[in-house]
Structure formats: C-alpha cells, structure tokens
C-alpha cells in the first residue's frame, strides 16, 4: 500500500473537508435546479473524486493527489455567465489562498478545443508570495454550459504541485477528455 506524504495527506483532508462543506451547503439550501435547462451529459474524468457543485446543475471533480480539480455546470437560476465566472474565481481562490481578501486575476483568451467551434475560453491566474493558482474557464455558447480546470503550484516547486495548462489550454489530458465528452 502506498503511503501518502504530509502534503498529499493535507490536500486529501482539505479536499474531503471541502466536499463535506459543499454537501452541507447543498443540503441546507434544498434548492431545486431549474427544469428549463437540459441535463448535462458528460463522462467523469478518471482518477478524480466527484463532488457537489453548490447551487448549480453540474459537478465538481477533485484530484485526490494534487491541488487541482475540474467542474462542469450551468450558472444558477438568474445568474449570468460573468457572475458565474466571478463565483468560481472566489471558490478556487478560497481553496488555496486562504488569507486573501482582494484577489486579482490576470486573464488571457484560450482557443476552443479542437472541433468545438461554439466554445470560448479564458485562462486566469493569480498568486501570493508562496503559490500560483490557475483557472481555465470554458463556455459552450450553444448550450449555456461552462466547464474548466483549476490548479495550484508552489513558487518553489514541491512534489505535490498540480500541473498547469499551457497558454493554448493544453497539457492536462483529463480536461481534454472532459471537453470532448460534454454533449448535454
């Protein structure tokens, strides 16, 4: 049996704790998702743990070994895409930059995944003195659904750092597979 290092154990505990908090929030809210939106059909990425995407039709996926994850979902009822992006930015920053109050994100345009012309993407980054955080946010205009990837790495590399996407959105095979599988 493989033994987890201290950092990996910390991220596993953090991930499980976040999933529990998200589950509590969803249970406490008991909001029904809008019925006008079509179900999102996709294949869950291999090796990622599923989690609830609070207040949204969709799903979070958490990497149990690295500080990274993915999501797929619709904005909540009455929420526009800009507000959804802002909400996901706050969620991701809160996962990694615990003391941050005014997080500033830098962004660049990402090309659509091959064969998905209705897609637009934005690659966002932020940091503090110890770490960098990346968030890729894609929108399928024809479906109104969003999905993406988020990750954290230390500025002084450590063995448990997550993989970052490159400037063209490549480098994480599981995200490419998720993108291809979305058909809802």
Tens of pLDDT along 111-129? 999 888 899 999 999 999 9
Number of Cβ within 10 Å of residue 81's Cβ equals 15
Could you write out the three-class secondary structure of 2-18? CCCCHHHHHHHHHHHHH
C-beta of residue 53 within 8 angstroms of C-beta of residue 71: yes
> Tell me, what's the pLDDT at 98?
83
Instruction: Please indicate whether residue 23 or residue 56 has the higher confidence score (pLDDT).
Output: 56
Is the CATH number 3.40.1000 carried by domain 6-181?
yes
C-beta of residue 100 within 8 angstroms of C-beta of residue 117: no
Please tell me the pTM assigned to this model.
0.78
Instruction: Please indicate whether residue 37 or residue 41 has the higher confidence score (pLDDT).
Output: 41
> Tell me, what's the pLDDT at 27?
30
Provide the phi-psi class of 124: left if phi over 0, else alpha when psi is between -120 and 50, else beta.
Answer: beta
pLDDT tens per residue across span 129-181 = 999 999 999 999 888 899 999 999 999 998 899 999 999 999 999 999 999 99
CB neighbours of 183 closer than 8 A, spacing ≥ 6? 41, 42
> Tell me, what's the pLDDT at 14?
46
C-beta of residue 22 within 8 angstroms of C-beta of residue 94: no
> Tell me, what's the pLDDT at 184?
53
Q: Where are the domains of the chain?
A: 6-181
> Tell me, what's the pLDDT at 54?
82
């Amino acid at each position: 049996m493989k033994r987890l290092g201290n950092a990996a154990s910390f991220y596993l505990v953090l991930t499980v704790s976040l999933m529990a908090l998200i589950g509590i929030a969803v249970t406490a809210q008991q909001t029904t998702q809008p019925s006008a939106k079509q179900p999102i059909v996709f294949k869950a990425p291999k090796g990622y743990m599923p989690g609830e995407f609070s207040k949204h039709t969709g799903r979070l996926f958490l990497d149990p070994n690295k500080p990274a994850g993915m999501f797929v979902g619709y904005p909540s009822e009455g929420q526009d895409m800009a507000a959804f992006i802002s909400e996901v930015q706050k969620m991701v920053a809160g996962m990694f930059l615990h003391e941050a109050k005014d997080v500033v994100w830098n962004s660049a345009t990402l090309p659509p995944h091959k064969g998905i012309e209705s897609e637009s993407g934005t690659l966002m980054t932020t940091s503090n003195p110890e770490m960098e955080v990346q968030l890729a946010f894609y929108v399928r205009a024809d479906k109104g659904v969003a999905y993406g990837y988020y990750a954290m790495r230390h500025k002084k590399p450590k063995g448990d750092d997550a993989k970052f996407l490159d400037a063209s959105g490549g480098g994480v095979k599981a995200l490419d597979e998720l993108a291809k599988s979305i058909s809802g």
